[in-house]
Structures are given as structure tokens and as C-alpha cells.
A and B are shown apart, each in its own frame.
Chain A
Amino acid sequence: MNGETRFNESFLSYKGFKHLKLSLLVAFVVLVVYLWHDPGRAPNGGTWLGYTLGGLSAALIIFLAWFGIKKRKFGSGTDLLRGWLSAHVYLGVLVVVLSLFHSGFQLGLNLHSLLWTLVFLTVLSGMYGVFCYARYPSILTGSRQGLTRAEMLMQMSDLDMQARDAAIGLGDDVNRALLNAAENTQVGGSISKMLNVSPADCPTKRALDYVDGANVSGEAQEAALRRVHAILIRKAELLRRLRVYVRAATLVRLWLYFHIPLSIAALVALAAHVLAVFFYW
């Protein structure tokens, strides 16, 4: 287990779940006050409790967003970063709860509910990020087996050349399949391909299938075909491992492409929400 994995597992339990306990305590207190509070009409953001919870939620949202900027200054894996990340995660979930109480559970087709939805989606994507951090680092290191991505690619290209040399005396169709496998095999290429570990139309897989079923006559030809087959199997395995790696690496990053734009959108919507409320007070 290397440092990266230890970090990913430990930020959730940072200092004996300090931030989880804090968030649960705040949520509980708010729940009690919410149930006790009788505004004389449906609970909403315009009561004293509503304004209080709204202010608290807004402050938390800004604090959470600030972390996104601040964390770049921390060294990866430091205790300070662990603490901040732990707070970021638990307080993020807390914001969804607080803002729901703030709204008095009133959602509609308006800017204010859009803000809540954006915050909710941001937190949801963040929760998926936490899941990824817990699940994928071991896959990322395991799939590479000590190789870098460039080394894996280099090995595959090398195998392609070996296969071609081995097949030069074999039939045109085998050569076509190998050429296709060498020239058109691709790792990734689009998000959906990056997430697909075993694409059905992989040229290397097709070449392997073809070689599997090919018939040749003569001992030299059979030996060449066996050699080609063995090379292709090695390439296919390398390819699979690299694809597993790419899929994990993509998932570990992909949620951020939702988390960051959503959080920026939520910040702007928060500004619009506060403006709308007080502009037409």
C-alpha cells in the first residue's frame, strides 16, 4: 500500500471523524430548531430561522468553494490537505441539508430551487469523487504493474512490429489483420471509449480472433502463426491493462468536470439568489 492509497482512505476518518461529527451535530441542532420553530405560516427562507440558515448555507458554500482554490497550495498527501478535504466533504453534505431546511422544503421552478439543485448536484458529484478516491487508486497502480503508460504503449508498438516481422511470410489476410491491428488499435479516443475496457470492435482483438481461426499449411507457416498468436495475446493483455488503467484514471478525474463547473454555476446562482431576494425585498 503506497502513500496515495493511505491518504485516500484516511481523509474521511480524519481525526476520528471530527468533521462528520461536527456536521451531524449541526444538522441535529438545526432539525430540532426547525421542528420547534413555528413561523405561523409554511416555513421558508423569509423567517428569522430561514435567514439564519440561508446565511449559514451561503457562508458554507463560499468556504467550500474557497477550498478548491486553497488546496492547490497544499502539498499532496499532507495532513493539512487531509483535514481540509475532510471538512470539505462533510460540510458539503451538510450544506444540502441546511439549505433544504432554509427553503422549508419548498422547491419550485425558479432561480432559488435552481441554486439548491446546483448545490445538490455539486455535492452529488463530489460524493462520487469520494467514492472514486476510495476505489480507484489501487486499480490505477495495480493495472500498470510498475510500468508507465508510455512504457505500456511502447511495448505494444514493439509487439506490433514483432508480429509483423513474424507474419511477413504468412497470408495476405493475416497481414491485413495485423496491419489493421497495428494501425487502428486505439486506447481511449473519446470519453465513452476511455470508459470501455473491452470494446467490441478492437482491431487487436479482431486480429487475435482471426489468427485463432486461421489455417496454414507447412511447418514453417504454422510456427510463424503460433509466434504471431503469442505476440498478439501479449499485446491484448497489455491493451486490457492499459484500458483498465485509463478507465479508472478517467473516472477519478471525470467527476471533477461536473463538480467544478457545477460549483462555479452554484456560486453565480448564489449571487443571483441573494440579489433577487434583496433586490425585491
Chain B
Amino acid sequence: MKIILRTLLRKSTGDIVARDSQVTGSPIRLGRSADSEVFLNDPRTLLQQAEIHERDGGLFIESVGNGRIIIRGDSVSSSQLKIGDQFQIGPYEFKLEAVPSGGDADYLLSVELVHELEDVQSALSGRSTLSLEDLGLRAKPWSIGLGVLILALFIVLPLTEHFSGEAKRVALEQDGPRTVKEIRDGIKEDSGILPVSMRQFWQAGHLSSSHKIFGLDCSACHQEPFQQVARETCANCHADAHDHVDAEKFPNANMSNEACSTCHKEHEGSQGLKIASEQFCSDCHGNITTVAGDGSELYNIASFDDHKPFWYEEVGAKPSTGIKFSHKQHLDKEGMRVPDGERGERRVLGCDSCHQTDATGTVMQKPEFEKVCADCHSLAFDANAPDREIPHADVATVKQYIRDAYSSIALRGGYKPAKGESVPTVVRRIPGSQQPTEKGKREALAWADAKADEVIAGHFGKKRCGECHEIVENGNNPLNWTIVEVKHNDLYLEKGYFNHKPHDSVSCAECHGAEQSEQASDLILPTIETCKDCHGSGNSVSLITTTCTTCHGFHKKDETEVKQ
């Protein structure tokens, strides 16, 4: 078989150049192999790609091995060829044509490389990225995107939440501040644009425990943008916060124009709101004689270490209690004899046998006679009337009680005189045996009066009361005595507060020293030095830190008021 192989080359101008050559073979082999009749110089073809056979008067093309032939749109491994057929092998396109007249061959096969091998260099450059810019990466869009995201999340959304929340608040507060319930309901409704409030991320720290109730309703306090929270806003709830001092008297300390937040820092958890620093107070009180000027009786104090003795520590300053009492005697370690007890029975008393604080622990309650004394200290006044006891009351009531008691006894009769005592018959008669005569009654009452006088002025009256009370005689009349008024102070430290409860772990004696006190006038209150045994200023390394506000309040009227 002899064929003319026409190689077509398409120029860049579009012109086609044809180069003819003659090949002979049976079959005609197509492939990359150098000995192929049709040499296909392209790595995309196989060494032996296909063969053209002539048999039975027809022409057939058959692939060798795995090569495929695309003819009439189908990928086949063999096919008959007719004049005019086109087929493709790899990047080549073939066309079988009739030999032009005069040609010395059986067929004409034109071949054209229709899929050029790609331009390797530009392809490699195109695939490769040698710099980040080649990847299309730019810092600018990322910068703008991130910037806009933060702008939206942390500026636009919080401001939107503020203005919508503020509008609601103003609408609700037309008739005065909202109730706590209205605030709570508002917070539940107010979810903002996002499911989470973005304003919460404006908070640099947690709200204090007591203000957490306002949640994220920032407008509850922050009502005017770029302004500190107003005093009036705080006063909605804290109307009773008293000025520290009388501003008229001490204009230097006038704080009526100060925002509360000048001192009370919110959003610092629980620690910012309450001020416990010594320095806060000592800024003024360290030099208070100058700061306050005339009219102040205060002394300069920079810390607890400078604290002067309590007022009652001055000589002669202790107030009279009006009571005669020996703590030492009552706190006898062997105990006290029990009057109604068995022979030799003794009861050991402790401080709490008589002294109890109130529920808060701050106030030591007044020991009541009936509760703490009467068990041992009987107020019976006559062996003939053992059930009768003088009421622990004012002197007049006591005297009247004694008179009434003897009148009643005299009229009833049955009184058994003591040895050598002269008692009228009518008073001694068996009770109920006979009605006393008028004369007898007068006689009985005269006896009762005399007896009452004797008791009131005597052992069971004046002397019995005088065991504990200071008796005041009045002129020459032995019946006209009275007692000194008993004074009990609930609080001796009126400008500070003290609580017994936190001191529970310390025995009473460590501060009060009652075992050595033989007189009530000792007024066994602790001295400042007693406090300083355990408490020290903030600078102390070994003592309990005690700042001004440990004991003193700032806004409390009672503690800061200047006494005239």
C-alpha cells in the first residue's frame, strides 16, 4: 500500500502550508516510534499508536494496544475508512482523501497537529504563584473587612441598643423612676438586634453584686451620654445616703456637687463600690484640724494606729451606772451559793448568764432583774408571807406594795410574830375565825402601817434595795429614801459600730477583764489598746487590717453628725 502523507502546518497568519511525502507499507503504522510510516512527533502519542490495513478491498484503521481513535465522534479501537473520513489520534487530525489524478499512490492521508503542545513556559508561569500577590491576596480588603466588623459589633450595635433602650426608659419614666419590676421586664424584652447584647462587651468589669439587678439595662444609671452618672439617678434608690458632714458648718467638706461615682467606682466587681482604703479618709482626716478649721473637735488621724483612746478612757469620764455590783464576786470559779438549792450547792456563773446581745450582735441587752438576778436574789420581805415578793419596780411602787401587803395581812389575820415581837390579837387571830370589829380593824391597820414603815426603812426594804442600788437619803425621814437612777447604755461607741458576733471566738475576759472588777463603776469596757492588741492599720503585717470604715460609716447620719 502506498499513500501520500500530506502534513499540514498552520501558520500564525492562518495560511496552511502542506508538505507531501510518500510512504509505503502494509500495514501503515502510525506512532511516535521513529520507524513508523506515519511518525507522530508528540509525547502525547504512543510509540505504536495505530495501524492502517487494506483487506477485502477496504481500508481499516485499528489501534495498537490501548490507543484510541476518535472517528465520527466515537472513540473506537478500529473502524473502516472511506474516502473523506476524518479521524483523530491524540493531538492529530487525519483525513483520508482520494489521490489527485496523476498521483502515484493508493490514498492520500492528510495529517495536522490540531492541539499544539501548550506553551510550556507560559503554562508553568500561569500555574505558579511566586508571590502572595499572585494568589490575589491583598491586605486591604482584609483590613477593611475586619475594621468594619469591629465597627459594627462594638460601636454601631451598642449605640443602637443604647438609643432604643434609652427611648423606652424615658417613655416609662414619665411618671417617675421605674420600679424594679419594670426594669426587670424591660431587660427581658430588650434583646437588641443580635441574640446577645453587644453593650455587655462595653463593660470593663463586672457590676457589683447589688447592682447586678439592672443587668444590661445600662440606661438605668447611664442616662446622659458622655456624662458621669448623676447624683439624682443614684438617689432614686439611695435617697438616705447622708452627707458626710454638715456642709453649712464645714463648707470644705461640701460634697453636694460631687457625683457619687467620684468615689464609688462601679464595674469593678464587688470591690470598687465600697471604699475601705485608709488613704481615702486620711486625705482629709490626716490633717483634719486644718481642713475642717474652727468648729471641729476632731484630731488628725492617718490610720487606725493613730486612734486615740475612747472617750470613756479619760479620767473621770466614765458615767455612773447607779448600780453596786462586783463582777469578781459573781464570777467566782467555785460558783455562787444557791439560796434555794440543796445544802452546799453552788452555781458557776459566766458572762452570758447575765449578758446577751441582741440578734444583730451589736447591742448588749440590759440584764433584767427578773431574768438574771431573781433566781438567787429573792425580794421576799416577810417570813409570814413567803410567797410575797417586792416587785422590782420604782421605789414608790415598792413602798406602796409593802404597805398594801401588810394591810392585807393585818386584816386577814394569822400573822405569826417573831420571838419578842408585839403583834395585836386581831392580826394574830386564826384567819376566817371571826370578823374584826371596827376598833380591831383600826388596830390592825395601825400595826400594818408601823410594820410597813419598819420594813421599808429596814433590812428588807432600804437595805435589800441598797444591796445593788445606790440609796439616796432624803432629810431626816427614814422612810423618804430613794435610789439613784440606773443608767444602761446600749452603745458606748456611738460614732462607730462594734459587733460582738465576729468576736465570738475571743473570750469575753480577753477584752473586758470582768474577773478582777469589784465595782460596777469600773465600767469594764475595752480600751483602744485592747483593740490594738489584734487590730492594726493597713500597713501592719501581723495585725488584722483595720481601716476607718471597719468601724465608721461615711454617709450615716448618726455617726457623722456634728454634735452641738
Contact = CB atoms under 8 A, between A and B. Distances in A.
Q: Do A and B come from one complex?
A: yes
B131 to A, nearest CB: 6
A275 B155 contact: yes
A42 to B, nearest CB: 6
A38 B539 CA distance: 12
A157 B123 CA distance: 9
B147 interface: yes
Given A172-B46, A179-B44, A41 B272 contact: yes
B32 A40 contact: no
Interface residues of B, number: 62
Interface in A39-96: 40-42, 44-46
Interface stretch (A1-9, A13-21, A263-271): A263-271
Contact of B204 (A112, A167, A267): A112
B135 A191 contact: yes
B225 interface: yes
A41 B146 contact: no
Given A45-B204, A175-B32, A257-B142, A280 B222 contact: yes
A114 B150 CA distance: 10
Interface string B30-68: 001110000001011011000000000000000000000
Nearest to A177: B43
Contacts of B280: 40
A171 to B, nearest CB: 7
A105 B228 CA distance: 25
B151 interface: yes
Contacts of B229: 281
Nearest to B41: A168
B214 to A, nearest CB: 12
Main secondary structure of the interface of A (DSSP, over half): helix
B131 A253 contact: yes
A178 B132 contact: no
Interface string B253-267: 000000000000100
Nearest to B219: A280
Interface string B111-131: 000000110110111011111
Contacts of A215: none
A41 to B, nearest CB: 5
Interface string A183-195: 1111111110110
> Looking at B118, B125, B204, B225, which has the most chain A CB atoms within 10 Å of its CB?
B204
B132 A186 contact: no
Contacts of B277: 38, 40-41
Contacts of A42: 268, 271-272
Given A149-B130, A160-B120, A261 B226 contact: no
B329 interface: no
B279 interface: yes
A279 B225 contact: yes
A186 B128 contact: yes
A256 interface: yes
Nearest to B137: A257
Contact of A154 (B121, B134, B271, B276): B121
A272 B147 CA distance: 11
Contacts of B155: 268, 271-272, 275
Contacts of A44: 204-205, 268
B476 interface: no
Contact of B226 (A242, A254, A281): A281
Given A108-B205, A153-B121, A250 B41 contact: no
A197 interface: no
A202 interface: no
A173 B510 CA distance: 103
Contacts of A150: 125
A110 B128 contact: no
A233 interface: no
The 4 A-B pairs at the shortest CB distance, nearest first, are namely A40-B277, A157-B121, A188-B129, A187-B128
Interface of B: 32-34, 41, 43-44, 46-47, 117-118, 120-121, 123-125, 127-132, 134-135, 137, 139-140, 142-147, 149-151, 154-155, 158-159, 162, 200-205, 218, 222, 225-229, 265, 268, 271-272, 275-277, 279-280
20 contacts: A42-B268, A44-B268, A110-B204, A157-B121, A157-B124, A158-B121, A160-B124, A168-B32, A172-B46, A179-B44, A182-B124, A188-B130, A194-B132, A250-B132, A253-B131, A260-B139, A264-B147, A265-B147, A265-B149, A279-B162
